[in-house]
Amino acid sequence: MADSFEIRIITPDRTFYVGEAEMVEFNTTEGEIGVYKNHIPMTVIIKPGVLTITGQEVKKAALHSGFAEILQDSVTILAEVIEWPEEIDEERAIAARDRAEKRIREHDPKTDIARAETALQRAVARINVIR
Amino acid sequence: MASMRDIKRRKSSIQSTGQITKAMKLVSTVKLQRSKQAAINSKDYFNYMYRTVQSMLAKAGSINHSFVKGNDSSKKAVIMITGNRGLAGGYNSNIVKTVTRSGMSKDDMIIYSVGKKGREAMHRHGYELAADYSTMIDAPQYDDAMRLSAVLLNAFRNGEIGEIYLAYTGFKNTVVHEPKLIKLLPVELSEDAETNEQSKVPMNFEQEEEEALELIIPKYVTSLIYGGMIESVASENGARMQAMDNATSNAEEMIDKLTLQYNRARQGSITQELTEIIAGSQAIS
């Protein structure tokens, strides 16, 4: 059993989650990472993905953008956009995924590929959280 | 002395004005409750954001990034957050004064206005106006702040503007609101001892520090703009509530005075009528 540490998730509108966790996993610009207690202090930038908090129970949320400050005994995630599974509209997420995929496939020089890719990542993260 | 009819007319007009101000006061009280809660909820986020950026800068003093060093442009963009509606005491004019008396040269400034009242005032003063973002202030969303900051950061990167300022009304409590003008970019390190204390924890970055700044500073700017909007909305409702409260009590005072005058006039006219009747009957007999 790993030691637990404090995790705080703050959004511009509310304090999303505060609690104890043994491990948190999320996606960053450098790839997916998992954080245990006594991690070296680090600041990482978040990419759209699934946030998993493992403590007494496992919680999942769709984390889209922001950054995280990792200290030895706490993790603070400043999330610009984050959603619990029950806040996600599955049909909309699937529609968004299909739309983004179509845009990327079509290779239209006018489309902003980077934007379409982020949209796709976001939609996939939402879908993964629900399932 | 004014005639009874005049006084009556005046009184009823003040009465209906009083009713309007009273209703406005009640409405802004309710709105204030809501916006105050939003301002409190968002505070945590900004404190963390501010601390993180400050500690990044403290450790990385020699970062050679335009967000810290600035660029060559002398233009200063000022985001000015006011209300879309008036009747809020000095709320709108205080912000206008803060900006016009900031000591910055008028020719260098470009106003990005959020709020119709501020836009109109700056137009009258002859300032250069960029696009209008007035609809944002009705119900500020984080997305709105993101859009605005993207526009400004783009202009900053292209060298169209060299500095970005934010003028908003800070919400201290229900009765104290403070117009503020703060510098967003280039980011400056504050001399605050407390933040320096906290920043002593050695922090690592997954990316190069410059790259991390490139990603974090836009979020920092966005969050400050959003915070400015949220606090301004709370202040606006607070200011309007106060202004309307004063107006209502003034109206009540005036009605009291007019009621007194009206009664006096009524008595005067009765006395006069009686005198006329008695004088008339004496003349006949």
Same structural domain, A54 and A114: no
DSSP string, B26-90: HHHHHHHHHHHHHHHHHHHHHHHHHHHHHHHHHH-TT---HHHH--S---EEEEEE--SS--BTB
At position B96, the amino acid (one-letter code) is: V
Chain B residue with minimum CA distance to A47: B215
Same structural domain, A81 and A45: yes
Range of the domain at A115: 89-130
Same structural domain, A96 and A58: no
What is the number of structural domains in chain B? 1
pLDDT reading at B200 higher than 60: no
pLDDT in tens, B27-85: 999 999 999 988 888 888 888 888 878 777 776 655 667 777 777 788 889 999 999 98
- Report CA B196 to chain centroid distance, whole Å: 31
DSSP string, B141-199: -HHHHHHHHHHHHHHHHTTS-SEEEEEEEEE-SSS-EEEEEEEEES------HHHHHHT
CA contacts within 13 A on the Cβ side of A77:
30
Residues of B within 8 A of A44 (CB-CB) are 205-206
Closest-CA distance of chain A to residue B97, Å: 29
Q: Give bridge partners of residue A34 from the DSSP assignment.
A: A25
Backbone angles phi, psi at B255, to 5 degrees: -65, -40
Residue B234, classified by CB atoms within 10 Å of its CB into exposed (0-12), middle (13-18) or buried (19+), is buried
Q: Look up residue B234 and give its two tokens.
A: 């709370």
Please answer whether residues A127 and A97 qualify as being in contact, where contact means their C-beta atoms are separated by less than 8 angstroms: yes
Same structural domain, A28 and A66: yes
Residues of A within 8 A of B146 (CB-CB) are 80
Consecutive H or E run containing B213: helix B209-284
Same structural domain, A21 and A81: yes
Size of interface A-B (CB pairs under 8 A): 69
Give the pTM: 0.83
CATH number at residue B143: 3.40.1380.10
DSSP-derived letter for residue B215 is H
Q: CA nearest B239: which of B148, B115, B127?
A: B115
For B206, which of A14, A44, A71 is closest by C-beta distance? Answer: A44
For A28, which of B41, B201, B206 is closest by C-beta distance? Answer: B206
Query: B215 and A80 in contact by Cβ < 8 A?
Result: no
Interface of A with B in 31-90 (CB under 8 A): 40-45, 65-67, 69, 71, 76, 78, 80-81
pLDDT band at B183 (very low <50, low <70, confident <90, very high): confident
Tell me the ipTM for this assembly.
0.76
Q: Quick one: pLDDT at residue B193? A: 45
Range of the domain at B123: 42-242
Average the pLDDT over each of A15-19, B21-25, B192-196 and give the range with the smallest value: B192-196
Percent of chain A past pLDDT 70, that is, above it, reads 98
Residues of B within 8 A of A26 (CB-CB) are none
Query: A67 and B56 in contact by Cβ < 8 A?
Result: no
Same structural domain, A45 and A99: no
pLDDT in tens, A12-28: 888 888 989 999 999 88
Q: Measured between alpha carbons, how far apart are the two ends of chain A, in Å?
A: 27
Average the pLDDT over each of B10-19, B137-146, B185-194 and give the range with the smallest value: B185-194
CATH number at residue A116: 1.20.5.440
Question: CA B285, CA B281: separation in Å to the nearest integer?
Answer: 6
What is the number of structural domains in chain A? 2
Please answer whether residues B110 and B130 qualify as being in contact, where contact means their C-beta atoms are separated by less than 8 angstroms: yes
